[in-house]
Chains A and B, each alone.
Chain A
Amino acid sequence: QVQLKESGPGLVQPSQTLSLTCTVSGFSLTSYNVHWVRQPPGKGLEWMGRMRYNGDTSYNSALKSRLSISRDTSKNQVFLKMNSLQTDDTGTYYCTRDGLGPWGQGVMVTVSS
């Protein structure tokens, strides 16, 4: 059964760095891409970036200067790091296989002092 699960801190202070982990099961990171998508409270979906099966990455140009996606294939994990967080980075962060599905349950991140 294909599953993805996001984990990370629920609260991050402004100007700090967000670190999230997507742990996958039921498929190999060397065969499928994993995407990150976020959603501010009550708003729509924003694509953030992608870890390709071969290790290549793509990023949303609006976030590229602050965002980094990496992985550890031995642990079946994909990581998201985003620096210089502001209050408008508050929202639910999802990882998804191939950017289509399935999706993880999401992790709510609040940026606040």
Chain B
Amino acid sequence: DIVMTQSPSSLAVSAGETVTINCKSSQSLLSSGNQKNYLAWYQQKPGQSPKLLIYLASTRESGVPDRFIGSGSGTDFTLTISSVQAEDLADYYCQQHYSYPRTFGGGTKLELK
């Protein structure tokens, strides 16, 4: 199974700051066939189900604000949230959608400083 390691586990930020969440996979998520990286990012607010933000490492889901940016390739990936807003305070998870079983990172809790 591919192990996903996410860091940091929690992050305290002030509104307007730029934050970076990291995700590392134990195997490459880059498909040699189409040169795409199969990594997704989710946002989960308290009491809600996860919401897809980014898939294929950098493709933003429809309706997701452009302050959410996914980047990276191979085994190292990053979610950057520029100019954090109060509504962005939530848990964030990475997930590989390269192979089965699908696996998730442990999560990052974004809190207000």
A-side residues, CB < 8 A to B, are 35, 37, 44-47, 50, 58-61, 94, 96, 99-106
Contact = CB atoms under 8 A, between A and B. Distances in A.
Contacts of B105: 44
Contacts of A96: 50
Contacts of B106: 44
B107 interface: yes
Contacts of B50: 37, 45, 94, 96, 103
Contacts of A105: 49
Contacts of A104: 49
* Chain B interface category by residue count: 20 to 34
Given A94-B49, A106-B49, A100 B104 contact: no
A58 B52 contact: no
Contacts of A50: 100, 102
Contacts of B107: 44-45
Contact of A35 (B61, B93, B102): B102
Contacts of B100: 50, 58
Interface of B: 1, 40, 42, 49-52, 55, 61, 93, 95, 97, 100-107
Contacts of A47: 95, 101-104
Given A58-B100, A61-B101, A99-B97, 17 more contacts: A35-B102, A44-B104, A44-B105, A44-B106, A45-B107, A46-B104, A47-B95, A50-B100, A59-B101, A94-B50, A100-B52, A100-B55, A100-B97, A101-B51, A101-B61, A103-B49, A103-B52
Given A100-B55, A101-B51, A45 B97 contact: no
Contacts of A94: 49-50
A37 to B, nearest CB: 8
A6 to B, nearest CB: 9
21 contacts: A44-B107, A45-B50, A45-B93, A45-B95, A45-B104, A45-B107, A46-B104, A47-B103, A50-B102, A58-B101, A96-B50, A99-B95, A99-B102, A100-B52, A100-B97, A101-B52, A103-B49, A103-B50, A103-B51, A104-B49, A105-B49
